Structures are given as C-alpha cells and as structure tokens.
Chain A
Amino acid sequence: MFHWKKLGKAFTPQEVTGRDWLKEFAQAPATLLLDDVVRVYFSCRPPADANGQYVSYSAFVDLDRADLFKVRHVAERPILNLGGLGEFDEFGTYPVSVIRDGGDVRAYYAGWTRCESVPFNVAIGCAVSRDGGKTFSKLGTGPILSYTPDEPFVLSGPKIRCYNSLWYLFYIAGRKWKMVDGLAEPVYKIRMATSEDGIQWSKLNKDLIESCIEEDEAQASPDVFYSNGKFHMFFCYRYSSHYRGRQNGYRIGYASSTNLVDWVRDDSRAGIDVSEQGWDAEMISYPHVFELDGSIYMAYLGDQVGRYGFGLALLKGELE
C-alpha cells in the first residue's frame, strides 16, 4: 500500500473576495509548474440562480513553490468564457486539465449544457494559452470529443497526457442515466482516446477500469502518472445512488498498467481514505498526482465534492 501523508486543505474558495464568479467550490485540481509557483487550476461556482441552478467556471490559484500552503495569487477572472447560446459549454467549463505544448499551454475541459429530460449533458473541448496559462482561447465553438455509438452522453473529466509523442486523453463517458428517487443520476466509466496532434482523436472504446463496488459504479478523475517503469492511475468512484454522503460517496481507487491500455485495479494499494473527522471525512475524490522538487503530491477534494476547497497529501516512499 502506498503511504500518503495528509497535509491538510490548501485552498478554501470562501476565503477569496472580490470575484463574483467564485463563491464556493474548488473542484478537480490540475497543476502546471511555474518557476516559483505551482499553478493549480480548479473549477468553481458563483451563487446558484433563482432556480437553484449553478454554472461552473474554471480558474487557477498560484501556490508558493516553497510552501504550498501559501496562496500567492488567485486568477482575476475565469480562464474561459462560457459558451454561446446553444453551444456545448453554455452552462459550465468543468473540469479542466492542462499540458505544455512547446511555448503554449493547452487546456482540455468539459463543457456543460442543460437538457430537459436529464439535468445536463457534457462534451470535451480544447483551448490554448499563449501567455503561460493565464488566459485561454477556445479552438472552436464545438467539442473536440463528442458522443459516439458506445459513448452516448456525458463525456467529462478530461486528463491530458503526452507519452512518447502520442497524446492520451483519459476521460469518462456516460453509460446510463439511472432514475433514483425521481432524479436522473449519471453512471459513467473511465475511457481513453489517443491522438497524433491533440485535436483529432481515436477512441479506444473500452472501459479501462473494471467496476468493483457495483455494476453501476460511477468512476471519475482518471489521473495517470508515470513512475518507475509503470503507469499509475488514481481515480475516484462512488455508488450510483445516494452518494452525496459518507456511506456511498466518493473514494479514491488505484490501478496500474505497463501499456496504458490494460489496467489492473487494486484499490487496496491506493493508500488514502476519508478521515475520521474534518474537511474530508465524508468523501475524497478527484485525485491529481504531481511531482514537485523531488516529492510526489496528491491534490484531492473533500466533502461535498470540493465545495470547501482542495487539500494535499505527500507520498512517503515510491510509486512503484
């Protein structure tokens, strides 16, 4: 089992002032290393509208590289505008994953629209930054990864990687909408696509991670990290119903692979779980693993899927 030492919550959105688009939530942390800060992208929300509905924005916080618990700067505005009328990302850009591409930074993000029979649908878009990740321009008004026969809806949670000059996109795809107590709840599974250029994608059309707690287990945040000759994936999973509390809520799972296609799941190795008390006692989710100055960290969300921010854990020992 890996040994993660929890360091505590590193960012609390409620402590930020002067930004009407950022009231609460700091979801799906994703890092970009700069000279003296770690830029952590996250997704947040302004207050709900009169109908109780949210939109999501993505932004970043710069953490001091020498002391990750010191906030140096918070983005002045969201990194992406919401989409136009009828576009796939009209009501949200969440989550986002970034990668350097030469002098540019590319962001892959999930765009949210609202539907009538189910609450939402999601597809994956792409944007590029030419100012080191401060602002991004969308490559187009539509998605770069959308629905196909085996992935009919809810393409979300992109994690962009590049290995041996090939682009890899890990993401989730909806499998079914399950009616629970009169609400449509999405079931989704972890998937992968590959690309020569990061724009034109070939889907693998395969569930990467076998379901474990139930057939309709929902899986999210497939975060892949290469270390010691192996690919390590930390992800999160939950039950399909009544998952908004401790009992059925998100936990962090683990799988490994040598070829990125065949994965062996072994949650017993994940080494991180909910706390007895505190900000992450009900659920932990949306893991993101990154290396900084010789140490390996995991950023992750606590209760209410990051409503009160994200925390950090430090790996003791090796990822192998």
Chain B
Amino acid sequence: MRWKKLGKIFDPTEHILLDGCVQFAQSPQALVFDDFVRIYFSTRSVDPSNGKYLSHIAFVEMRKNLRDIIRVSNHTVIPLGALGCFDEHGIFPLNVLRHGDAVYGYTCGWNRRVSVSVDTAIGLAISRDNGLTFERIGDGPVLAASLREPCLVGDGFVKVIDGVFHMWYIFGTGWKQYAPDAAPDRTYKIGHATSGDGINWVKDEAHQIIPDRLGVSESQALPTVIEITGRYHLFFCYRESFDFRNGKGRGYRIGHAWSDNLSNWTRNDEPPLLQGAPGEWDSDMQCYPHVFECDGKVYLLYNGNEFGRAGFGLALMHT
C-alpha cells in the first residue's frame, strides 16, 4: 500500500474561527456530500479562568478537489458539556456518520482531573440538519470506563457493517509517573465494541486488537477503518508513552493493520506509511489519521507537527 502526500490543505490561522479559537485543527474527519466535502476538526480556545485549553468542534467545507475552500463554520456545531459532565472541557475528536436521515456524531469528551490531567469518555450527539449542528442524546457518555478499562475511553470511530454498529476506540491501561518531577503520562490501546442501535454498546472489554510495535508502553490512538475490495484496513497513530512531545523519534506516526474478518488484525506499518522530510509541516510527527473515500479515491487526512497546531494535510492512496 502506497500513499502520495498532497501536503497541508487547511491552516486554522488563516481563518476566523468561533469561540476565540486561533490555532489547532486536530483530528480532521470527513462527511462527503454530492458536491463538496465537509471536514470536521477540533480547534482550541483558552479557558479564561486558568489559561488551559478548551477543544471545540468546527468544520471546513471544500470542493471535491480537496483543495478549494468553500467556507469555514461560523456557528456552534456542538456546545461543550455542562458543569461536571464528561465533555465539559473539550470535544476532540468528533466522528460522524450518516444513519438514515440523521448524522450521528460520536464525541470524545474531555474533563479535567486533579491527580492526572484528564479523563475522557465517548458520547453520542445526533444531527437532524445534515451535520450543521448536533444535539446530545443525554448529558452522559455512551461508552466510558469499566471494570477492566479503568480510564480514558475515547476516540470512537463508528461504522455500520451488515446492520451492526462497530466501534473502534481507545481505552487507557493506566497512568504512570516516569520521572519524579514529571506530570503523569498515560498509555492507551485500541479496542472494539459492537451495538445494535449505536447507543447501547457491548465492549470486547480490555482486548487490545492491534499488537504493539514499541512494547507495552506504546500508546495507540485515533483508529479509522475502511473496506477496500473485501479487506478491512485500520489506520491509527502510535507513539511512546512519555517524552513524546519533543523527543526525537518518540512522537506520533501513522500505523496500519488489516483484517479479513474484523476479528484478527495483522499489523503492517514497517516501513512507515508516511515519511516526513526535514522542514516539512509533518517532518516530526504524523497523527490523528482519518481515512475516507470520495469519488472512487481513498484519502487519508492527518495532522502533522505539534499535534495539528498549524492544521491538517492529505494523502492519496495509490491503487
């Protein structure tokens, strides 16, 4: 499988975003229309009470050449959660899919903790206006921590296959302080759940479906799945669990695995899918992939350096 990098296609600093957001366009995810593609992403404002970030959902609409921008959203797509709720301090990412007349939006909600920085859970919000705005089905999540998944359930990606909702998501295996003066770091792995209605889910609890390449301290995030000629391909990003922000060679890169039965996945990302050349926007890091099909072509949206502070780019699959 070979990919042709098409470069960065969206830079948030070149647009006026809502809620005082000026940087970050993270975890781009596509909803394809007849004559344009809407790409949702998470951008950030600064919480005036403490200077910390709040992630908000916005979108950009592009021509199907995925180069020309039609418009950027200037309204609230989905508000943040209420006081004390799982998604009070951010929604990142939002995964969208059409279901009947509705668009289902699976949110990863963030809420801040005291001993560790954050916890997350997965919520469901439904759009009845073709994805312009979303309304939660409730204040709480549809997928959260459980007996053997103690923290950080997030990054849901949902696909309906033969009438069954499948969700690939991540679950935390725990927090660890790697140095005496360091803030705790987390490790998470990719799991799988199924559902008849998209609301009530049955987890294959604590079952890591993608083997580690970097050992037990590999963190895996943002699963995204596509079927190509009868074979399922799962893309994700992975990194070391500590010193991953600036440590050379320790940051996110794109992983890949395939399956013919949705149960057993074969990891296949050596050599790496995407290489960043020095000086490029994605030279040090490639993360938060989203794979989708548009007019017979398979594309990969992803973020580059600094977790998408300066936007997202695109790659095209060679067939």
Contact = CB atoms under 8 A, between A and B. Distances in A.
A177 B139 CA distance: 12
Nearest to B184: A85
Contacts of B85: 152-153
A121 B144 CA distance: 13
Contact of B147 (A83, A90, A139, A147): A139
Interface stretch (A22-30, A108-116, A206-214, A288-296): A108-116
A149 interface: yes
B86 A117 contact: no
B113 A86 contact: yes
B124 interface: yes
A146 B146 contact: yes
Contacts, number: 128
A83 B111 CA distance: 19
Q: How large is the interface on B (under 10, 10 to 19, 20 to 34, 35 or more residues)?
A: 35 or more
Interface string B134-154: 001111111011111111000
Interface string B96-112: 00000000000000011
B83 A147 contact: no
A150 B149 contact: no
A314 interface: no
Interface stretch (B2-10, B30-38, B114-122, B230-238): B114-122
B169 to A, nearest CB: 15
Interface stretch (B172-180, B215-223, B261-269): B172-180
B44 to A, nearest CB: 17
Interface string A61-87: 000000000000000000000011111
A148 interface: yes
B272 to A, nearest CB: 31
A145 B41 CA distance: 32
A140 B114 contact: no
A261 interface: no
Contact of A147 (B113, B141, B176, B186): B141
A118 B177 CA distance: 24
A7 interface: no
Interface string B161-185: 0000000000010111100000010
B83 A85 contact: no
Q: Which of B89, B123, B145, B176 has the most CB of A within 10 A?
A: B145
| Top 6 A-B pairs, shortest CB-CB distance | A149-B138, A152-B140, A140-B147, A86-B175, A114-B114, A116-B112
Interface of B: 82-86, 88-89, 111-116, 119, 121, 123-124, 136-142, 144-151, 172, 174-177, 184, 186, 199
